[in-house]
Amino acid sequence: MSQLIEVKIPDIGDFKDVPVIELAVNPGDRVAAEQTLLTLESDKATLDVPSPSAGVVKEIKVKVGDTVSEGSLVVLLEAENVATASAVAPAPVASAPVAAAAPAAPAASGGLVEVKVPDIGDFKDVPIIEVLVSVGDNIAAETAVVTLESDKATMDVPAPTAGVVKELRVKVGDRVSEGNVILIVETGAAALAAAPTQTVASVPAPAPAVAPAPVASAAPVPQATAPAGKAHASPSVRKFARELGVDIAKVPGTGPKGRIQQQDVQNFIKGVFAQIAGGALPGAAPAGGVTGGGELNLLPWPKVDFAKFGPVETKPLARIKKISGANLARNWVMIPHVTQFDKADITDLEAFRKAIGPEAEKAGVKVTMLTFLVKACVAALKKFPDFNASLDGDNLVYKQYFHIGFAADTPNGLVVPVIRDCDKKSVYDIARDMAELAKKARDGKLGPAEMSGGCFSISSLGGIGGTAFTPIVNAPEVAILGVSKSALEPVWDGKAFVPRLMLPLSLSYDHRVIDGAAAARFTSFLTQALADMRRVLL
Ligand code: COA
């Protein structure tokens, strides 16, 4: 059932006559529930107005520059799956407490000001999805310092005053409520004098809620190095850029006052792809990478009205899927992949694993084949250091530490937690770390630090099934080991076929860094190590 509904501006606190600074949709666009329709910017906050329902935008009642207040009609939406009998329904978001992020009153003490979470309506424990400033940054009053995202709205919290960031009290993933201290700003002339060079003090005044990007950002693909927080973009545009792995600071804004719009991010990506195809992107195609070929000349993504062919249900892609999807797509396009297949005889190792089971249980751990694989991979990485390297332009960075990532399946999608210093840990330590990280992953509690710094990844589908697959390299790593389900197979021992437990391995590697022969040696070493773990000691 579809119905025409009026989308109105929800409760935005005490704000009145707030300018519309960006329209995120066009008439005819199909939108998901909660998708941003337009962005408002008061002198205190930037606010995205979400769609109350999935549907098709029929008419937009405002234009950029118009001012709106609570209750202003902004969009006519042909909404899907609306239960109400009324033909014109009020926007459900009107009842949602999407409060304006007014800055908290500073609690000054000797030039130090605590920046607190302002009144955010009924929301509590809202996750911080972005920290936009760093310690030492010199910020203008109203510079957005963090972005919060509830299930209803994305909100920037602006600094109430200019000064130098002295201390950050929060990190991405922390949950905050009204009154929580986010950071400490040192105000006054002394702070400004001590400010480092990456300052936004030179940004043209007057600064709105988000400091405007320098005028120079209108130049094509500038080498802007300003921190992301200084980019003049709404939360939804920054979110869009983040999900696609785009550094918003590098995107030239073409909106009013250099504001970066969604279209600017899309154009930026198109430009990057064109450069990759032309081999012109610095760092994208060194050492025999992607060169030549002109434009990618891809067909546009097929737009199909699936509902024409049968009943459908549309759901937004989970956040983890969007982020990992963007990373996987980049890695797939930019890395010339080859996959080397092999099989390891793990008959003895599996017997050993079973034998130590009770002892491991007493120690409070479960040792799975993956635990041994981590150890075997560390030994292989030590023997073949190219696999523990990363491309950095024309250089190879060889890591002298052994942090191993493992792909973990979670209800929301794939994540890769990293077990640190696997060379220094026992099999039990690794099993314990793996169980803890896998649980955190499934509970959605992994912090960014627990997913970074990996040297090499293992993706095990052995607990599920399959005989082989081609994993995608997890850049900037240069190789990833795929593991499939072990099975008893008849193996010729020179006299007869004997049943052996064989483990299929699929090693994908970046062919810019690793030759086929090296990959074959690597997997061959791995199979020998797994067949006889004493080799790991050598
Ligand atoms: N062959 C046969 N059986 C295997 C196996 C293999 N290669 N690997 C694991 N198993 C068995 C285990 O022994 C265990 O059996 P048991 O309960 O009888 O002892 C069972 O499969 C389940 O193992 P699991 O709990 O998954 O442990 P794990 O250490 O193998 O894996 C994770 C841990 C976190 C990696 C795993 O749970 C997971 O999320 N895997 C999916 C990763 C993924 O999605 N990769 C794809 C990325 S594209």
pLDDT tops 50 at residue 98: no
Give CA–CA dist 116/476, Å, rounded. Answer: 37
Catalytic residue among 232, 337, 403, 511: 511
Residue 506 CA to ligand 1 center (angstroms) comes to: 15
Helix (H) or strand (E) segment spanning residue 410: strand 408-410
What confidence tens digit (pLDDT) does each residue in 399-437 have? 999 999 999 999 888 999 999 999 999 999 999 999 999
pTM passes above 0.85:
no
Give CA–CA dist 156/342, Å, rounded. Answer: 51
What confidence tens digit (pLDDT) does each residue in 320-337 have? 888 889 999 999 999 999
Give CA–CA dist 175/126, Å, rounded. Answer: 5
Decide whether any atom of ligand 1 lies within 6 Å of the 326 Cβ. no
Ligand 1 closest atom vs CA 485: 1
Question: For residue 81, what pLDDT band results from cuts at 50, 70 and 90?
Answer: low
CA-proximal residue: ligand 1, atom 6 (nearest): 462
CA-proximal residue: ligand 1, atom 17 (nearest): 463
Average pLDDT over residues 53-69: 91
Q: Strand 337-345 relative to strand 395-398: parallel, antiparallel, unpaired?
A: unpaired
- Burial-class residue 364 by CB neighbours within 10 Å (0-12, 13-18, 19+): exposed
Nearest to 58 by CA among 72, 42, 45, 77: 77
Which pLDDT value is given to residue 295?
56
Q: Cα-flanking dihedrals φ and ψ of residue 504, to 5°?
A: -75, 135
Question: For residue 307, what pLDDT band results from cuts at 50, 70 and 90?
Answer: very high
Residue 143: C-alpha distances to residues 46, 177, 232 (Å): 11, 20, 10
Decide whether any atom of ligand 1 lies within 6 Å of the 502 Cβ. no
- Asked if 46 and 233 touch (Cβ cutoff 8 Å), the reply is no
Decide whether any atom of ligand 1 lies within 6 Å of the 349 Cβ. no
Ligand 1 closest atom vs CA 406: 35
Average pLDDT over residues 66-94: 66
Which pLDDT value is given to residue 276?
58
Tell me which amino acid residue 80 is.
E
Average pLDDT over residues 355-368: 96
Which range scores top for mean pLDDT: 56-60, 219-223, 280-284, 533-537? 56-60
Helix/strand/coil for 381:
helix
Give CA–CA dist 338/15, Å, rounded. Answer: 57
Neighbours of 504 (CB within 10 A): 21
Give CA–CA dist 428/366, Å, rounded. Answer: 8
Residue 463 CA to ligand 1 center (angstroms) comes to: 3
Nearest to 214 by CA among 258, 180, 256, 176: 258
What's the CA dihedral at 316, 80, 62, 244 to 10 degrees?
10
Give CA–CA dist 269/296, Å, rounded. Answer: 13
Decide whether any atom of ligand 1 lies within 6 Å of the 486 Cβ. yes
Which range scores top for mean pLDDT: 91-100, 203-212, 500-509? 500-509
- Asked if 214 and 232 touch (Cβ cutoff 8 Å), the reply is no
- Asked if 406 and 458 touch (Cβ cutoff 8 Å), the reply is yes
Residue 353 CA to ligand 1 center (angstroms) comes to: 14
Q: Which parts of 133-201 fold into alpha helices (H)?
A: 189-193
Which pLDDT value is given to residue 43?
66
Contacts of the segment 429-437: beta carbons below 8 A, 24+ positions apart: 430/371, 430/374, 430/375, 431/360, 431/365, 431/366, 431/367, 431/368, 431/371, 432/364, 432/365, 434/368, 434/370, 434/371, 434/374, 434/406, 435/365, 435/366, 437/406, 437/408
The conformation of residue 103, written as its DSSP 8-state character, comes to P
Decide whether any atom of ligand 1 lies within 6 Å of the 457 Cβ. no
Which pLDDT value is given to residue 142?
76
The residue among 449 and 85 whose pLDDT is bigger is 449
Decide whether any atom of ligand 1 lies within 6 Å of the 368 Cβ. yes
The conformation of residue 287, written as its DSSP 8-state character, comes to T
Question: For residue 297, what pLDDT band results from cuts at 50, 70 and 90?
Answer: confident
Give CA–CA dist 238/472, Å, rounded. Answer: 26
Mutate to test the pocket of ligand 1, among 343, 352, 354, 368 (most ligand atoms within 8 A of CB): 368
Which runs of E-coded beta strand occur in 316-403? Answer: 337-345, 389-392, 395-398
Residue 478 CA to ligand 1 center (angstroms) comes to: 23
Residue 507 CA to ligand 1 center (angstroms) comes to: 17
Ligand 1 closest atom vs CA 441: 34
Mutate to test the pocket of ligand 1, among 460, 505, 506 (most ligand atoms within 8 A of CB): 460
Which pLDDT value is given to residue 189?
53
Ligand 1 closest atom vs CA 469: 48
pLDDT tops 80 at residue 14: no
Crossing angle of the two packed helices 319-334 and 235-243, in degrees rounded to 10? 50
Residue 108 CA to ligand 1 center (angstroms) comes to: 54
pLDDT tops 60 at residue 294: no
Residue 365 CA to ligand 1 center (angstroms) comes to: 15
Question: For residue 201, what pLDDT band results from cuts at 50, 70 and 90?
Answer: very low
Which pLDDT value is given to residue 518?
98
Q: Is 403 a catalytic residue?
A: no
Contacts of 30 (CB under 8 A, 6+ apart): 54, 55, 56, 57
CA-proximal residue: ligand 1, atom 22 (nearest): 463
Decide whether any atom of ligand 1 lies within 6 Å of the 530 Cβ. no
Mutate to test the pocket of ligand 1, among 346, 370, 505 (most ligand atoms within 8 A of CB): 370
Decide whether any atom of ligand 1 lies within 6 Å of the 373 Cβ. no
Residue 302: C-alpha distances to residues 29, 297, 299, 305, 306 (Å): 15, 15, 8, 10, 11
Which pLDDT value is given to residue 440?
95
Give CA–CA dist 370/407, Å, rounded. Answer: 11
DSSP bridge partners of 410: 413
DSSP annotation string for 2-37: EEEEEEE----TT--SEEEEEE---TT-EE-TT-EE
Decide whether any atom of ligand 1 lies within 6 Å of the 404 Cβ. no
The residue among 310 and 132 whose pLDDT is bigger is 310
Contacts of 95 (CB under 8 A, 6+ apart): 10
Which pLDDT value is given to residue 309?
95
Give CA–CA dist 217/219, Å, rounded. Answer: 5
Decide whether any atom of ligand 1 lies within 6 Å of the 462 Cβ. yes
Which pLDDT value is given to residue 44?
61
What's the CA dihedral at 191, 197, 203, 207 to 10 degrees?
-30
Question: For residue 531, what pLDDT band results from cuts at 50, 70 and 90?
Answer: very high
- Asked if 152 and 35 touch (Cβ cutoff 8 Å), the reply is no
Residue 418 CA to ligand 1 center (angstroms) comes to: 16
Residue 383 CA to ligand 1 center (angstroms) comes to: 26
CA-proximal residue: ligand 1, atom 10 (nearest): 463
Question: For residue 277, what pLDDT band results from cuts at 50, 70 and 90?
Answer: low
Six-digit token string for 441: 């992953």
Residue 524: C-alpha distances to residues 285, 380, 468 (Å): 29, 10, 16
**Mean residue pLDDT across the chain:** 81
Which pLDDT value is given to residue 62?
94
Residue 347 CA to ligand 1 center (angstroms) comes to: 17
Portion of the chain with pLDDT greater than 90, in percent? 47
- Asked if 34 and 48 touch (Cβ cutoff 8 Å), the reply is no
Contacts of 85 (CB under 8 A, 6+ apart): none
Six-digit token string for 205: 């005044």
Decide whether any atom of ligand 1 lies within 6 Å of the 42 Cβ. no
Nearest to 36 by CA among 198, 191, 243: 243
CA-proximal residue: ligand 1, atom 23 (nearest): 463
Give CA–CA dist 6/84, Å, rounded. Answer: 13
Which pLDDT value is given to residue 278?
52
- Asked if 178 and 117 touch (Cβ cutoff 8 Å), the reply is yes
What confidence tens digit (pLDDT) does each residue in 490-519 have? 999 999 999 999 999 999 999 999 999 999
Decide whether any atom of ligand 1 lies within 6 Å of the 409 Cβ. yes
Give CA–CA dist 64/186, Å, rounded. Answer: 36
